[in-house]
Structure 1
Amino acid sequence: MHGVTTTLPGDQRGFFARLIPPTPLSRSLATQSMLFSTGEGAFNTGSAVFLTQVVGMSAAQVGLALTLVGVAEFLFAYPAGRIVDRLGPKRMWAGSTVGRAGCFVALPFVDGFQQYLMVGVVFAIFGSIGGASHGSYVLDVLPPDERVETRAYMYSSLNLGFTLGAAIGGVALATGSLTVVQYTPWFAAVLMLANGFWVTKLPAAPHDLRVASGEQRVKPPGPGPTRNIGWMLTSFFTGTLWTNQVLLNVVIPLWLVEATDAPRVLLAFLFGTNTVLCIFLPAYTARGVRTLQDALRYTWWSTAFFVGSCLITMVTHSTVGLVTVFLVWLGHVTVTGAELAISGASWAFEAELMDPLRRGEYQGVGEVSRALGGQWAPWLYTGLALSWIGGSEGWLVIAGIIVVATLGIGPSVRMAERFRDTHFPTEPIGDPVDLTPESA
């Protein structure tokens, strides 16, 4: 049976109690998410100052370097997934985390564009391995009825960690010392090493056990993800729906500055609201996703929130004062609703539509398809919204793109579901997982 249940057994707790993951494994995974994002957040907060004033790059060089690093991560996503399947997700997850820590250790000694680019590409390689191994491990180690809700708790912890990291990075910037900023990556490295150690204490998943026994050295039977057109299309359209992050982080802030009379300080309140909602609500919003049909319904909820945000935000060019402030805030809140809805849907798609013997490879192909579905959005959405200030055409085109993607995701999921039922194993793979953490 391929249904998804998101409510953990016996979890009848109150509102605040439900903010804490209910099982030892879900708590361990949530802790890992917070360790990771606290380190990343601490560095990312001051990264602009670090790259320009410490490394000595121009703004144009920073943009070019980040673009090239993103291309490297994109190109390595698929081979990284195959490596994870071959060597085991837990081992590669821990190893990639240590590799990222090494890159953070090296950053204070980087001087100029070329040196940063070399470190950045290595970081991207470890990032690709880490993304594929993390996703594979979580789906593999968790019982089917805990996968989506545990991912929701991990998402909450991830946002909490980024908030803590941003606060730490903000303190570093507040000192006004470039020396403090220069060595902030070492703080991130310490948390990455702690994260890697934490991962080694997690239980071995069935895939890890198959690798240890030598079973995984044999190529899994059946076709791989590159022949699963439904999965690639589902990932592509999911990537388009995830462009709510572009609206959230790029388009609405630029629109506020360029096209409205709202004070710029409102930006801090907007991002604060989004952070709070994404810390406290995922465990509740994900509870409605129990089947693939539920996931498809959530894609429409996400689209409704996204379109609503476009319609609300586009009128703020003509409003004044507190009305503008309220409507911009409301537009930001509705796009947060789009984020929460597509989160639950995308976790269900991953849990249900990937071959359990090829999860790393599926993660890699999915990452490439999602990137193709959304990497163009910052340029296109910004151009559409800001080129037609005073008119509604740009915002309506953005909304129309999302509606088209949602129309396409239904047939894609059904195609992937037929592929799954034809080619995937129908029985659980491997023995039940021992949830007792390993001692070494």
Structure 2
Amino acid sequence: MAATRTAADVGLRRLLWGRGVSAIGDGLWFTIWALYLTRVLGHSPATVGLGMAVAGAAGLVAAAPIGALADRLDPRRLLVALTAVRAAAMAGYLPAASLPVFLLATVAFVALANGGSAVRTALVAGLVSEQAARVRALAGQRVAQHAGNAVGAGAGALVLALDQPGAYRVAIVGTVVAFLVLAVMTLGVPAPGRPEPRARRGLRSVLRDRPYCALVGVTAVLSLCWAMLSTGLPLWIAGHTDLPLALSGAMVVLSSVGIALGQVPAGRLARTPDQAARTAAWSGVVLAAACLLLATTGSGAGVVAAAVVVGAGVLHLAGELGYVAAGWTLSLGYMREEDRGAYQGATEAATATVQMVGPGLFTLALDGWGPGGWVLAAGIFLVAGCAVPGAARWAARTRVRAGQRARSR
């Protein structure tokens, strides 16, 4: 048993370091991609937007089936394959001046991201069976991800400062190498525990599991907090206040540092599904409070308004930490172990759906209604958070009944 634990620990460390290195590539690419695609390759913003929309839709459709594959195939090898394809797609951006090559590279790179996250979560669940240990492992990987993103974004800033085609291409090569490092490190992860094939029900049974789908659906609504920070806040500061736009960048830095320091401790608030449901509810309340604070800064300027934005940023960070920790525990705690890949794929699909509509929601709400847009967002967060405990109780009841039927046979 000790040897098994040691092997699992080694595997989790390899995944953590691999995730950190690949995140450097993510941070580098997401810092430079807009200028590279438009200024170096010469694609119009409309073309780039269309490519990203098509890729996002493909990722939404692919997430659940890819996750289900992890139940039938070795999730390590599947994750290696997905990472290698994404590395090849990134290399495809080097000659992607033609529209077909650009679309192919974009769809392959973006669309596999959500499915890869589902497979990674299923792999972690296969390496360790205890729920708190799973959440700790996922929290550690998220910390590594944000640390890597910060390093990559710093390197990307240097590329933007040089603003030369050669510098952009070197950055792309560096991103390819980062993904290949993750693929190689994943190959060294020990084989995870595999459920009995006869017990699997597959993706269709997951989609028919209405309590689970309702639970991850309402929980996923809280992921609007990411669009709130990346889209809502900068649009608000630029268009509705007299505060410096750099303040929104500072809030991103605050979030990244806070996640690095707080994600692992936040997992202690969601060690059990019951705790996770309560944490998700409180996260919705806290995120709603952050929105209401921001609504008071319309036409604001000076130190007081900036302090209110910072206070809202702190509340946003607390809400995000709680939501992420709760989401892991709920999605893992109520899934069927035999179909963990399929269940995690469904979870990623729910999150991807929210992420597709999030930027548009904040853009339309804030442009159309001003402070009222923040009130609307607050209401969405509050309703979603308060719905999580009820959905969790529904899921728990169905698991108890299923267990009773199984014992009576």
TM-score w.r.t. length of structure 1: 0.85
Greater fraction of residues in helix: 2
Pairing 1:409–2:395 present? no
1:301 to partner: Cα distance: 2.1
- Partners in 2 of 1:186 and 1:64 — Cα distance? 25
Between 1:158-167 and 1:25-34, the stretch displaced more is 25-34
Equivalent residue number for residue 91 of structure 1: 77
Pairing 1:170–2:154 present? no
Equivalent residue number for residue 174 of structure 2: 187
- Partners in 2 of 1:220 and 1:65 — Cα distance? 36
1:373 to partner: Cα distance: 4.3
Q: How does 1:36-435 map to 2 (within 5 A)?
A: 36-144=22-130, 145-207=132-194, 216=197, 218=198, 220=200, 224-389=205-370, 392-423=371-402
Alignment check: 8 A CA contact 1:233 1:369 kept = no
**C-alpha distance 333-84 of structure 1, shift in aligned 2 (>3 A):** same
Letter in 2 for 1:201: G
RMSD of the TM alignment (CA)?
2.3
TM-score w.r.t. length of structure 2: 0.91
Alignment check: 8 A CA contact 2:243 2:300 kept = no
Pairing 1:33–2:3 present? no
Percent of paired sites with the same residue: 26
Letter in 2 for 1:127: A
Alignment check: 8 A CA contact 1:316 1:324 kept = yes
The Cα offsets for residues 58-111 of structure 1, whole Å up to 9 and x where unpaired, read as: 111111110110001111122212222211211101111111111112210111
Unaligned runs of 5+ in 1: 1-8, 10-21, 428-440
- Partners in 2 of 1:182 and 1:87 — Cα distance? 35
Alignment check: 8 A CA contact 2:221 2:384 kept = yes
1:334 to partner: Cα distance: 1.3
- Partners in 2 of 1:424 and 1:205 — Cα distance? 25
Alignment check: 8 A CA contact 1:388 1:394 kept = yes
Alignment check: 8 A CA contact 1:78 1:361 kept = yes
1:128 to partner: Cα distance: 4.4
- Pairs aligned (count): 398
- Partners in 1 of 2:113 and 2:374 — Cα distance? 34
Alignment check: 8 A CA contact 1:33 1:157 kept = yes
Letter in 1 for 2:387: G
- Partners in 2 of 1:422 and 1:140 — Cα distance? 25
Equivalent residue number for residue 3 of structure 1: none
Alignment check: 8 A CA contact 2:201 2:339 kept = no
The Cα offsets for residues 313-365 of structure 1, whole Å up to 9 and x where unpaired, read as: 11111533111111112212211111101011001012211111111111222
- Partners in 1 of 2:66 and 2:403 — Cα distance? 22
Letter in 2 for 1:112: S
Alignment check: 8 A CA contact 2:84 2:180 kept = yes
3-state secondary structure, aligned to 1:263: coil
